[in-house]
Amino acid sequence: MIKVETLRAALVPALPPDRDAELPGIVAEVIAEWERETGRPWNYRDEYEELVLPRTERYTKVFLQLLPVDELATVEVRSRAGEDWEELVEDEHFELVGRRMLERIGGYWERQVRVTYSGGYKEAPADIQNAFIVQAKFKLARFSDGKVVVKSQNFEGGGGVLETADYAPLFKSAAERHARKV
């Protein structure tokens, strides 16, 4: 979703060439943080199988993890574990609404919905790329050279207080905007 060259160029002042060996670890950490905070896989996936469990038996809409959905292969349902899966037909039993929501036509979703599809970003939108770069810089600044900080405070009561040292505010807000709806 983001090219390593783009990230490397953005990190030049914070990550001098003699610290290039740290780049793969930083990338892996930021990807893990993104996936944890958004509930979404980072990379584009082909033939991705997702099990969706609607919260109640009266749900008409379910949201998929990957955004955007490129192609639906199968949508199957069953009422309980152990039963056979029943394959549904698009535009007859359900429809894809927007970029990642499945809406049941004329009824409610069964208790288990299994969807096989392809989707996710092939290249991240600009706001996600920017948040990724900001978070990588934040990690380099906060967690290098013995600068590990557990919590920071602003005793003057001004803005910009970081509640924890885990996330840059821009990264956290981007993750909240792109978080998976259930």
Mean local confidence (pLDDT), 13-35: 83
| For residue 153, pLDDT beyond 60 | no
Q: Report yes or no: 101 and 120 within 8 Å, Cβ to Cβ.
A: no
Taking the model in full, what pTM does it have?
A: 0.73
Q: Convert the pLDDT of each residue in 94-134 to its tens digit.
A: 999 998 899 999 999 999 999 999 998 888 889 999 999 99
Q: Which of 46, 19, 114 is nearest to 75 (CA)?
A: 114
| For residue 163, pLDDT beyond 90 | no
pLDDT band at 144 (very low <50, low <70, confident <90, very high): low
The single residue listed with the structure tokens 């099990």 is 51
For 57, the token pair is: 């038996």
Using only the alpha carbons of the chain, give its radius of gyration.
20
pLDDT band at 49 (very low <50, low <70, confident <90, very high): very high
| For residue 155, pLDDT beyond 60 | no
Mean local confidence (pLDDT), 26-41: 90
| For residue 158, pLDDT beyond 80 | no
Q: Report yes or no: 78 and 85 within 8 Å, Cβ to Cβ.
A: yes
Of the chain, the percentage scoring pLDDT greater than 70 comes to 85
Strands (E), the chain: 45-52, 61-63, 69-78, 86-87, 94-97, 101-104, 112-119
Q: What are phi and psi of 137, to 5 degrees?
A: -65, -40
Mean local confidence (pLDDT), 28-32: 91
Q: Report yes or no: 69 and 122 within 8 Å, Cβ to Cβ.
A: no
Q: Convert the pLDDT of each residue in 58-88 to its tens digit.
A: 999 999 999 889 999 999 999 988 999 999 9
At residue 36, what is the residue type?
R
